[in-house]
A and B are shown apart, each in its own frame.
Chain A
Amino acid sequence: MHAALADVEAIYRRALPSLCRVAAAVSGDREAAPDIVQEAFVRAVRELDTYRGESALEGWLWRIVVNTARNHRRSLRPTAELTEETAAQTNGAGEGAGVAAAIAALPERQRLVLFLRYYADLDYGSIAAALDISTGTVGATLNAGRSALQQLLTKQEVA
């Protein structure tokens, strides 16, 4: 099964703000987010022939966007995970370093599931396809991520 370029275009046009938002959250680089999305979609249309229809096209595209954003983050700071400092500096969260720290403290998978659920409003199936995990794992990770973030936030004090 081969996806048509028009399908990719439709998803791009419909989801562009969400794509950028997730790219910014994952990469920690808000300014570069449109470039990350562009790079991801260039890669997608180049590799469209390799898309076999094993998962939803949208999930496949999100996977490429997430991976491109993760690569971008690594290129920014090769040895560091997303830290409180980078998160606060790069996500425009100058107003909430505590919030950034709480999110940075989550395991990466929980962060990604939260981003895809809240920022892109993806269903469990699409999140599963994007992160290459099962639908059940999405539900469990989402619950765990919400609970963990909730607990971390209640420990954070924002004056």
Chain B
Amino acid sequence: MNRRITSVADALELYTPPFAGVDDRWAEIARHAVPAPAPRRSWRRPLLAAAAVVVATTLIATPAFGIRGLIADLIGRIDVTFSSQQAAPVEVKRDFYDLGLGAPGAFAPQAIASEARQVTTFSVHGTRHALWVAPTRSGGYCWQIGGGVGGCREGKQRTTVPLSVTYTNAQHGAMQAVALIAGDITAPTAHALTIDYADGTHTDVPFYYVSKPIDAGFFFAAIPAGHDTEATRPRDVVLRDAAGHSLGRTTFHYQTAAQVAAHRARIEHDLKRLRSQKRPTLNYPSPNLPAPTTPVQTGGAGGVTVTAGHNGVVVFDTTDVSPAVRKLIDHNANGYGCFKRLPYHSAPVTVTSSRTFAKRVAIQLDGVMSPPYMGCVIEGTYGHRWPDRNGNHSAVEIALVPAAKTFFTDRAAARDLALFVRSRTMHAVRKLTGAALSDALRRDYGDQIVAGASPPVGRIGYTTVGATTTFVERSPTGRRFFISFVNGRLHDQNLKPYAYPF
């Protein structure tokens, strides 16, 4: 079955879909309206960059004397002015913002996501990894490198932890050796960072020291080749001031071959024991929480009522739950939660807590996500297949504001498409293209799936062009979701954060 796209408007709609939830960067833009003072360029930085190239190519690990000492002195610390760094993109700001989601108030790092900036990029094994930093409200900072390594440090930890090193070990037969190091430095007088090896040689590691409000240094480096034997592997990392005094040290601890073998045996034993046991039934009773305080939000659906208080306590009352809904949630572990719009997120964010079904279930969202909420939900744990037994909706969906209904409708359409492409049958079918794909879809799904990029609401459409196959579903609200595959591999989609395809 073939279809021609002949509408100019449809074509343009396909060509560049609309943007939603774009990060407002006006504050960053407006800063440039005022003439900036003449930049004060440090004489060190160009020198350091040049020296770094020299060291990277010729002097990675050399004895601690002669020219190495001179260059190490130049490349140790690279000062960076926080305020002149490029603002982080919305995805990174969202990562920093989300650090506070789901964490109890006292543990939330309170990163100021709007202030997140890119400091530099580290090149490790030929791949560039960006370093992002953001100050926190406690006077500390959060950092991350390429979405992998990172962490947060409270302001009060600045004086107690001058050097923190994260490292990964590579296994060489039964012998271990550190392969990568990353970390942060809080000592303002830090001048040089050195990896010492077991054979007495060492390598100087450049680090970027970011000015206030961060006031900390960061590093990420691969251990140079040739340090993967017991006699040559890294021994420790040492931070020194300009006078050569040690400010902090991290010593690497390696397991012996016998210890590694014993550790593996212990893990195997534990796994075997766990597999042989019957999985225990876990219960999640409601804790004793205060009553929701005024002003409260109230709503209901399916015989379930919800009361969300100003104190973040949310109570679900299922006394009058309908039999159909009860069937979906009469389990030991449901997800009870609420949702709202949050900065940097293109769709409302839902936070849930696991609770066992009961007539009265209470959760505490204060400190995790403050009220007011757009709505609340109970997510059943009955397993989700395509087609979903509850029409891709949560077991209970309670709208506290009108916009919540739009969210529920859009999410159901996105979930439908995600569940469809995630199904076992589709994992095989989506690798096909052209006529073979059309034949397989017709065979397996009949008229449930239609050809073309503009299917009627409630149906899934598809197009196949060359190696690219795209599935499309429209929400009754007018929103259009799609997911495309190239040679069966996920290529592009706009289902997240409503649904998660794979």
Where the two chains meet, the residues of A that have a C-beta atom closer than 8 Å to any C-beta of B are 5, 9, 12-13, 16-17, 20-21, 24-25, 30, 33-35, 38, 41-42, 45-46, 48, 87-88, 91-100, 102-103, 114-115, 118-119, 146, 149-150, 153-154, 156-159
Most chain A beta-carbon contacts within 10 A, residue among B15, B18, B466: B15
Q: Which among A94, A118, A150 is the interface contact of B6 at CB below 8 angstroms?
A: A150
Contact A9 B20 (CB under 8 A): no
Supplied contacts A35-B89, A115-B16, 12 more A-B pairs, CB within 8 Å: A34-B23, A38-B25, A38-B87, A94-B468, A94-B491, A95-B468, A96-B11, A114-B12, A150-B6, A154-B6, A157-B4, A159-B2
Residues of B within 8 A of A13 (CB): 24, 26
- Could you tell me the distance in whole angstroms from the C-beta of B8 to the nearest C-beta in chain A? 5
Residue B60 at the A interface, CB < 8 A? no
Among B24, B472, B492, the residue within 8 A (CB) of A92 is: B492
Give 14 CB contacts A-B under 8 Å: A16-B19, A17-B19, A46-B33, A94-B468, A95-B453, A95-B468, A96-B465, A98-B465, A103-B15, A118-B12, A153-B7, A154-B6, A159-B3, A159-B463
Q: Is B464 interfacial (CB 8 A cutoff)? A: yes
Complex CA gap A100/B25 in Å reads 30
Interface 0/1 of B7-35, CB less than 8 Å to A: 11101101111111011111011101100
Among B8, B16, B30, point to the contact of A5 (Cβ < 8 A). B30
Known: A16-B22, A93-B14, A94-B491. A5 touches B4 (CB 8 A): no
Contact with A along B451-477 (1 / 0, CB 8 A): 111000000000111101010100000
When the two chains form the complex, which single residue of B11, B29, B492 contacts A38, counting CB atoms closer than 8 Å?
B29
Q: A94-B486, A96-B463, A158-B452 are in contact. Are A25 and B16 (CB under 8 A)?
A: yes
Q: Which residues of A contact B2 (CB under 8 A)?
A: 157-159
Task: State the main secondary structure of chain A at its contact with B.
Answer: helix
Within 8 Å by CB of B22, from A17, A45, A93, A119, lies A17
Are A12 and B29 also in contact (CB < 8 A) when A98-B465, A158-B3 are? yes
What's the least CB distance linking B114 to chain A, in Å? 14
Q: Are B19 and A98 in contact (CB under 8 A)?
A: no
Chain B CB within 10 A, most for which of A5, A96, A102: A96
A46 and B35 CA atoms in complex are apart in Å by 8
The residues of A that contact B136 with a CB separation of less than 8 Å are none
Chain A residue numbers with a CB within 8 Å of B387 are none
Report A-chain residues with C-beta under 8 Å of the C-beta of B12: 103, 114-115, 118-119
Cβ A25 vs Cβ B15 within 8 A: yes
Q: How far is the CB of A31 from chain B (nearest CB, A)?
A: 8
Verify B30–A99 contact, CB threshold 8 A. Answer: no
Task: Name which residue of chain B comes closest to A12, CB basis.
Answer: B26
Check A98 against B5 for contact (C-beta < 8 Å): yes
Contact between B24 and A48 (Cβ–Cβ < 8 Å)? no
3 closest Cβ pairs, A-B complex:
A95-B470, A94-B484, A45-B33
Segment 410-465 of B: residues with Cβ below 8 Å from A? 434-435, 438, 451-453, 463-465
Using Cβ atoms and an 8 Å threshold, which residues of chain A touch B1?
159
Residues of A within 8 A of B20 (CB): 17
Cα distance, A45 to B466, chains bound together (Å): 45
Chain B residue at minimum C-beta to C-beta distance from A38 = B25
Q: Which residues of A contact B25 (CB under 8 A)?
A: 34, 38
The answer to whether B404 has its CB under 8 Å from any CB of chain A is: no
Report the bound CA distance from A21 to B90 in whole Å. 16
CB-CB < 8 A to A157: which residues of B?
A: 2, 4
Distance in angstroms between the alpha carbons of A46 and B33 in the assembled complex: 5
Chain A contacts for B491, CB-based, 8 A: 94
A149 near B484 with CB under 8 A, answer no
Q: Any chain A CB within 8 A of the CB of B482?
A: yes
* In the complex, chain B residues whose CB is within 8 Å of the CB of A100: 15
What CA separation (Å) do A13 and B491 show in the bound complex?
Answer: 31
**Residues of chain A with a CB closer than 8 A to B472's CB:** 95
CB distance from A111 to the nearest CB of B (A): 10
From A17, A20, A96, A102, contact of B470 by CB (8 A):
A96
Does the CB pair B26–A93 fall under 8 Å? no
Which B residues touch A30, using CB under 8 A? 16
Q: A92 contacts which chain B residues (CB < 8 A)?
A: 16-17, 492, 494
Report chain B residues within 8 Å CB of A119. Answer: 12, 16
Contact call A156/B5, Cβ cutoff below 8 A: yes
Chain B residues contacting A102 (CB-CB under 8 Å) are 11
Identify the closest chain A residue to B470 (Cβ).
Answer: A95
Does A45 lie within 8 Å of B30, measured CB to CB? Answer: yes
Q: In the bound complex, what is the Cα–Cα distance between A158 and B2 (angstroms)? A: 6
A149: nearest chain-B partner, CB-CB = B8
Residues of B within 8 A of A46 (CB): 32-33
Query: Nearest chain A CB to B6's CB is how many angstroms away?
Result: 5
Alpha-carbon gap, A30 to B20, bound state (A): 12
A99 close to B29 (CB less than 8 A): no
Residue numbers in A under 8 Å from B18 (CB-CB): 17, 21
Q: What residue in chain A is nearest B91 (Cβ atoms)?
A: A31
Q: Would A159 and B464 count as touching, CB distance under 8 A?
A: yes
